Each structure stands twice: as structure tokens, then as C-alpha cells.
Amino acid sequence: MTDEAHAQAAEVAVARETRLTRLEEDVKKLKPKGKDGWDMLQALTPLLAGILLAFVSYFLTGSVNNAIQRGQLQLSNVKEMRELLAQLDTADAAAADSAAFTLSAFGRPAVPPLMAALLAGGDVRMPAAERSLRAIGLNDPAAVCEPIRRVIDNRTGRFSWLAHLSTIRLLGDLECRDARASLEAYSRALSLVKAPADIEQFASRVERDPGSPFDFSAVEQLQTETARTLRIIRP
């Protein structure tokens, strides 16, 4: 190899070494100061953990307290409603009406026990429960319309014809339009009873109650109330 070739090779080697040195310096500049960052993170971790714990404790305590308060309120409501429902069984119509009026103030939570009172019947209890359900339904129709619709859909004979009559009346008073299909089916079944001899065709739908027998007069009352309600809820 000539001297000139040796010189060129040396220049190439020096240039390569220079580039490598510069690259190493650039890489060192780009690398994060891991130790400093890690030390800072270790110092901040207890503080961040404390803040997070404080937030979690605050929201958890608030949720627990709210849940306890709701539970206490519900328990108080149940006790008060139970006392008022007992008053519906009284022979005093005025006292029953007063209890029913107060029960309506509970709104949606009072619907199930009032439905039970309505379906249990009674010359005093049933009208009072109906009035209370009507008062609730005027403010919150959805809370009442669906439970009473299920009464006329039921074909097991669990409820008296008076309970049917009461629920049909409520469907109209509260304009329960979603009950239209159920009521139309009920009306078609009733229309098959054209004479006292036809009563058995519908009797399986209602409870056998010696105190309020299901006769042709009862059928006529159901037909009249059903027609009235359909006129109200049909568009």
C-alpha cells in the first residue's frame, strides 16, 4: 500500500472516530436524568397517596352517610305507611279517606301497598285506596297505570269483579293510553256475555266472592265502565 493510500485510510479512520464521539455525546444529551426523576417521584409518592386517600375517604364517607340516611328515611316511611294502611280497615269512612289522602303524599312508594288494599276489597278500604291511587296517578301516571293494567290482564280469577271495576275506572281517570290493547281485549271478552246464561264464559276471570256475586248486573257495570274508559284513552 502506498503512502498516499495509508494517509487516506488514516483520514477515514479519524473521521469515523470523530463521528462516533459526537454520536455518543448526542445520545448522552438525549437520555433523561433517570436518577433525578426517580428521586423526585419517590419524594412525591407519599404526598400523592395521601391526597388520593383523602379524596377516596371523602367520597366514600359521603356515599355511606347518604345510604344510611336513605335507609332511615325509607324505614320511617314504611312505619308511617303501615299505620296509615291500618286505618283504611276502619269502619269510619272519614278516617279511611284521611289516611288515604296522607298516603297519596308518599307517591310511588305507596302504590304497592295501596294496590294490595284495593284488591283486598272492603266497602270502606277499597274506595279509599282507589282515591289515593287516583291522587298519586294524577301526578305520576306511570306509577299507577301499569299495576292496574295487570289486573285486567290477569285471567286466573284472583281478583273480584269489583276490583276489576275499580281498576278500569282508574285506567280512564288517569288516561292510561298504554292500556288500550289490554282494555280492548277485555271489552271483546265482555261482549260475548249477552245474557245471564253466558256469564260462565267470563266468570273464570273473576274471583268467586259470595259477598259480591258475579251476575249479569255486574257484567253490565263492567261493560259500561269499559266503554267509558275506552272513549277516554282512544285517540
pLDDT in tens, 95-110: 888 888 888 888 899 9
From CA 174, how far away is CA 145, in angstroms rounded? 7
Q: What pLDDT digit, counting tens, does each position of 21-53 carry?
A: 665 565 555 555 544 555 665 665 665 666 666
Dist CA 61 CA 65 (whole Å): 6
Report pLDDT digits (tens) over 141-155.
Answer: 999 999 999 999 998
12 CB-near residues (< 8 Å, 6+ apart): none
Query: Cell numbers 274506595 label which residue?
Result: 127
pTM summary value: 0.66
Whole-angstrom Cα distance, residue 232 to residue 173?
8
pLDDT band at 90 (very low <50, low <70, confident <90, very high): confident
* pLDDT, average across residues 117-122: 90
Residues 6+ apart with CB under 8 A from 75: none
CA distance 167 to 213: 18
Q: How confident is the model at residue 161 (pLDDT cuts 50, 70, 90)?
A: very high
Annotated domain spans of the chain: 47-139, 140-235
User: Residue 4 has what pLDDT?
Assistant: 59
* Whole-number Å distance between alpha carbons of 87 and 95: 7
Residue-level pLDDT at 69: 42
Angle between helices 125-139 and 111-120 (to 10 degrees): 150
pLDDT at 73: 39
